[in-house]
Amino acid sequence: MKELVLGGARSGKSRHAQRTATALGRDVVYVATATAGDDAMAERIRRHREDRPAEWRTVEEPVELARVLREHAVPEACLLVDCLTLWLSNCLAADVWSDQRLALLELLPRLPGPVLLVSNEVGQGVVPMGELSRRFVDEAGWLHQDLAALCDRVTFVTAGIPQTLKDTNR
């Protein structure tokens, strides 16, 4: 099972993904993509760490997501990635986006065991004025479309309420 969990900032998407992972009753490998570039982000990372069950294994990787998923994927474990838009930002800043994106899209269908991918939906507002912001929104939207096509389930979370957009198992 591969699931893409989308939602806005503070929508409850991470909480939903964590509950889903817990309900699977498997070992969980939590792949964190955030980097603490300022005090506010450091605080957000701290809160996310506290929210995760202590028995989950955490792997922090801001750029090489496909490599980490390949290394930690086993049929009996669930991989939970939080979050793809932070990963996108990191890859754009390192100028490695095209290669990293392709690596993830090629690897995802071959991964054994469940995979939960958490990402911010950023394409529901106005088109940004700045070139970098526009590229970020465009790339996130294209990534989400490609992942949605590859995933068995796509869930959109608003105000803590999950809405199933796609479920091939129904």
pLDDT at 40: 81
Give me the DSSP letters along 126-143: PPPSSHHHHHHHHHHHHH
* pLDDT for 109: 97
Task: Please report, in tens digits, the pLDDT of each residue of the chain (170 residues total).
Answer: 999 999 998 899 999 999 999 999 999 999 999 887 778 877 877 887 888 888 999 999 999 999 999 999 999 999 999 999 999 999 999 999 999 999 999 999 999 999 999 999 998 877 778 899 999 999 999 999 999 999 999 999 999 999 999 999 87
With CA atoms as reference, report the closest residue to 106 among 67, 61, 155. 67
Catalytic residue among 16, 48, 72, 144: 48
The average confidence (pLDDT) of the chain is 94
Q: What is the CATH number of the domain that holds 100?
A: 3.40.50.300
State the residue range of the domain holding 159.
2-167
Q: How many domains does the chain have?
A: 1
Q: Is 48 a catalytic residue?
A: yes
Residue 63 contacts residue 69 (beta carbons within 8 Å): no
